[in-house]
Amino acid sequence: MFENLIEALEAEGIDMAWQDFANCRGADPDLFFPERGASTRTAKGICRECSVQAECLEFAIVSSEKFGIWAALSERERRKIRKERRIAQNTAKPAELTAPLTIRTGT
């Protein structure tokens, strides 16, 4: 099923090649999807040394990954980032309102 998701995302033009460089390849999945209350320290340590952490974070945020450790962040930590981005988007002013006015004079 996960392979199908990746294939579907790639079909939409979303580059998933970064996963080839994931530090978690071959790691025990239970580290990244721990039981409730279990330590996430080992998984987060693997993530912090991963060369594609930024790409992984964007994927997890954009695809609203609900479970597990992605890019050294728990679902709660990723939810906070999504909320902050939503707030920033809603309070951002349209570019045309923030750009300086240009007044043209005839002739």
Closest CA to 24 of 42, 11, 36: 42
Pick the piece of the chain touching ligand SF4 (CB under 6 A) from 9-17, 33-41, 44-52, 84-92: 44-52
Does 70 contact ligand SF4 by CB under 6 A?
yes
Q: Which of residues 39 and 87 has its CB atom nearest to ligand SF4 in the complex?
A: 39
Q: How many helices (H) and strands (E) does the chain have?
A: 6, 0
Does 31 contact ligand SF4 by CB under 6 A?
no
Does 9 contact ligand SF4 by CB under 6 A?
no
Contacts of 14 (CB under 8 A, 6+ apart): 59
